[in-house]
Structure 1
Amino acid sequence: MARVRHKRKPVAEMNVVPYIDVMLVLLVIFMVTAPMLNQGVKVDLPKVSSEALPQDNNVQILTISIKADRTYYWNLGSEVDTDKQMDKAMTLPAMTDAVTKIIAAGRDQGKQTQVFIRGDKAVDYGAVMGAMGGLQKAGVGNVGLITEAP
């Protein structure tokens, strides 16, 4: 008896299993090498010593001091005065209200107000950022940070 042979049709489907294997190998390679990449460039920052800027008579200087216990003090004058401060410690909302009034009074007199923040090195970053947020609510656009000379 003769066998009946059925002709097989060629398979027209693409076999994707090898591609998946290659993709998984590449994924593992990237997962292993990604933590080894440097994020950013190592830079040695310079120490800066500079001369004082010339004073503008139409500008009043507001210095906000933040002590290590997160209390806020302010000083208003014609120059940056780091030795004097207001005697009364303030909370952040009270400082924001005071700055709002100081800036409004300066605008009424036609003066611009420059604001500087002096933060104790023991104060946390959140207190300084809170002060900057309060100053922004008070309408301050630019804030300078005071540091010590090297």
Structure 2
Amino acid sequence: MTPEASIPGPAPIDESALRAYLSDELPPDQMARVEKALRESATLRARLEDVRADREDFQLHSLGAIWRRSRLTCPTRQQLGSYVLDALDPELGAYFQFHLEVVECPICQANLSDLEAQSRSNSGSDGSRTRHQRILKSSEHLLGDEA
């Protein structure tokens, strides 16, 4: 037996290696080896696509899933507060209405419901009106002659 024969070569790129590659779980040297092999082998690229399609999290990485998960079209809670107070630009208010009533975003609907409940409870308290009057009175000088 020659010395070269006793040194094992790199492990074959099997399904578990491809899964680890897709999940970025391989060490850098093995990632580079898999990437090189993928560039050189159409058969291995086809196997990678099969592994990708069979993954449980396959749909988690679609553009739509990322968009929904990141809530890219959802207004912030502060913006929803302005919506409750009808203090938004009409176009933005119309979009929020669409988002809430047509898209029916459950997170935004829950936030809106909470903000509306807070608004109702605050509008009924005397402390809120007094605080509101104090804020207006302390800001009169900023308004100048317009007040």
Same fold by TM-score greater than 0.5? no
Larger RCO of the pair (alpha carbons < 8 Å, separation 6+): 1
Normalised-by-shorter TM-score class: under 0.3
| TM-score, normalization by structure 1 | 0.17
Q: Which has the larger radius of gyration?
A: 1
Instruction: Point out the structure with the larger helix share.
Output: 2
Instruction: Point out the structure with the larger strand share.
Output: 1
